[in-house]
């Protein structure tokens, strides 16, 4: 069963789903190991870990995608990835 199907199944089965956001592979593995059914990533958590700064559009799409791919490849649970738009800061947009 692929991750999208597993995520749909989890969402249909559970009335409430607590999802914790990982900021790297190690945190994703810890989240999985303690029993969460899903791992998430977000722009803020990746930016804070990678750059030490808030999600202000400084993390590039490719940097974000690299971390998310590594997280996906490291865990055996579905990953919800918040990879939104807005890359680059105001002076380059």
Active site residues: 55
Q: What's the token pair of residue 59?
A: 């993390």
Q: Where are the beta strands (DSSP E) in 1-93?
A: 20-22, 39-41, 79-81
Closest CA to 78 of 32, 34, 33: 32
Give whole-number Cα distances, 82 to 11, 15, 22, 28, 34, in Å. Answer: 17, 22, 11, 14, 22
């Amino acid at each position: 069963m692929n991750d999208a199907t597993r995520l749909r199944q989890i969402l249909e089965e559970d009335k409430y789903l607590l999802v914790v956001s990982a900021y790297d592979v190690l945190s994703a593995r810890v989240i999985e190991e303690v029993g969460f059914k899903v791992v998430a990533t977000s722009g803020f958590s990746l930016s804070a870990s990678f750059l030490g700064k808030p999600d202000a559009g400084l993390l590039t799409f490719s940097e974000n995608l690299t971390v998310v791919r590594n997280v996906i490849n490291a865990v055996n649970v579905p990953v919800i990835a918040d990879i939104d738009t807005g890359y680059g800061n105001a002076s380059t947009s």
